[in-house]
Structure 1
Amino acid sequence: MKTLIVYCHPYNKSFNHAVLTAVKENLIQNKRDFNIIDLYQDGFNPIYDREELRLFHEGGTHDPLVKKYLTMLQGATTIIFITPLWWNSIPGMLKGFIDKVMKEGTGLSHTVSKTGIHGELTNIKHTYVLTTSTSPKFYLRLFCGNAIKKIFINQTLRQLGMQDRHWLHFGCITNSSLARRQKYLSKIEKYHFK
C-alpha cells in the first residue's frame, strides 16, 4: 500500500507544515510507505500556458514535474492532501496542480465520453483532504456554499476516480490556542489512514 501526500503551503513554520509532520509521523509509526509532493518546495509552476494547453488532449506536457506527479498518482493507493483554504477555496497552486497534472487520455487521470468524465485514478482507494482556515467548518458549510466538500472533494476528486473521500478541517486557526493546536496534531498522529 503506497501513500502519496500532496502538500501545498509555502511556509515551513506554518500550522500546515506541523500537520504534514504529524501525518509523516503517523505513517512512519504505522510502517507505511509514502512519497511527498511538496508543490512549493518543488517549484511547481501552476500556470497553464499555451503549449501545455495544446498538449492537453494528447495527454502530453512540456513540464517534467507533471509527468513525475502523474506517475506518483498512478502508483498510490491512498492520497492525503494537506492545504490551507484561502478565500474559502483551495490555493491557486493546488488548483494549478489539478489543472495541469490531471491529463485526459486512457491510462492517465481521466477520459471524457458522451456521458461525462470517467476517472482513471481508481487505484486511489482512500482519499483524505486536511485543511486549515480562519473560518470554522460550520461557516464554510453553511455560509460559503460548502465548496470544498461539494466541488473539490465530491466532484473533482470523485470524477478523477479517487475513492473513500474524507475531509478533516482545523478552523479558526488565527485565534486558536497552543493547546487546541497540539490536541489536533495529536489526533492526526493517531488517525487511522487506510
Structure 2
Amino acid sequence: MRILVVLAHPLEESFAAGVAETIRRKLLANGHTVDFLDLYRENFDPRLTSTERARYFQPDYDVSEAEPFVRRLQQADGLVLVFPQWWFNFPAILKGYVDRVFVPGVAFDNDPAGGRLRPKLRNIRVLWAFTSTGSPWWIVHLYMGNPVRRLLKRGIAAFCARGLDFKLVNLYDMDRSNEEKRRAHLARVEMLVGRL
C-alpha cells in the first residue's frame, strides 16, 4: 500500500516526531510505500483563503491553491495522522490541512439538495491516528467525550470514505509520562503498524 503519513508538530525532536519516524520505518520494512508529510517542515499554510472559501459550494471546486497536498492524498491508499491533542483538538496546522485538502470534489461531493455529503475518497482504505494528550484517559473519555475520536471517525471518516479501517491510538497523561512509558508506547505503535 501507499501510505501518506502526516505529522503535525512544530518541534523536530518531539515525541510525535519519534512516533511518526517509528511508523515510517515499520511501514517501509513491511514493503509499503511511504509519503511522509511533515506539515511544519514543508511550510504548509493552514489558512483557508478567501477565494477557497468563496468557491466552496461552486461546482468543480478549484483545488489549485493546495494542489500538491490534494494530489498526495489522492495518490494514497492509507492515511496515518500523527499529532498531539491540544485543548482536546487537532493542532491548528492539522485542522487547516483538513480544511484546505479535504474539500469538495476531493474528499466528498456536496449534495445539491442540501442533504448528506457523498464520500469521494474511495482510494483511502486505512485511516489511523496516533496522538498524545496531557490529560489522563478519564478526562478525555468521561469528561470531554473523546472529541478527537468523534471528529475523526464520525466526521472525516464517515463523510469522506466508506468501509475504511479506522484506528485511534493515544498516549494519555503525556505530561507526566516517563521514559519507560514512552518506550512502551513506541513498541505498541510499532506492533500495531506491523499489522498493516
The alignment's TM-score, normalised by the length of structure 1, stands at 0.91
CA distance 1:155–1:171, change in 2 (3 Å): same
Give the root-mean-square deviation of aligned CA atoms: 1.5
The alignment's TM-score, normalised by the length of structure 2, stands at 0.90
Q: Please, which moves more after superposition, 158-167 or 77-86?
A: 158-167
User: What percentage of residue pairs aligned between the two structures are identical?
Assistant: 23
- Aligned partner of 1:2 in structure 2 is 2
1:55, distance to aligned residue in structure 2 (A): 3.6
Superposed counterparts of 1:23-172, under 5 Å? 23-56=23-56, 57=58, 58-63=60-65, 66-105=66-105, 108-113=106-111, 114=113, 115-161=115-161, 163-172=164-173
Q: Structure 2: how far apart are the matches of 1:167 and 1:59?
A: 30
Q: Please, which moves more after superposition, 136-145 or 118-127?
A: 136-145
One-letter amino acid of the counterpart of residue 101, structure 1: V
- Aligned partner of 1:177 in structure 2 is 178
Q: Structure 1: how far apart are the matches of 2:73 and 2:121?
A: 7
CA contact (8 A) 2:85 2:132 kept: yes
CA contact (8 A) 1:84 1:90 kept: yes
Alignment gaps of 5+ in structure 2: none
- Secondary structure of the residue aligned to 1:88 is coil
List per-residue Cα deviations over 1:99-145 (Å, max 9, x = no partner).
1112212xx22101133101110211111011111012332111112
1:151, distance to aligned residue in structure 2 (A): 2.1
CA contact (8 A) 1:70 1:101 kept: yes
1:62, distance to aligned residue in structure 2 (A): 4.8
- Secondary structure of the residue aligned to 2:110 is strand
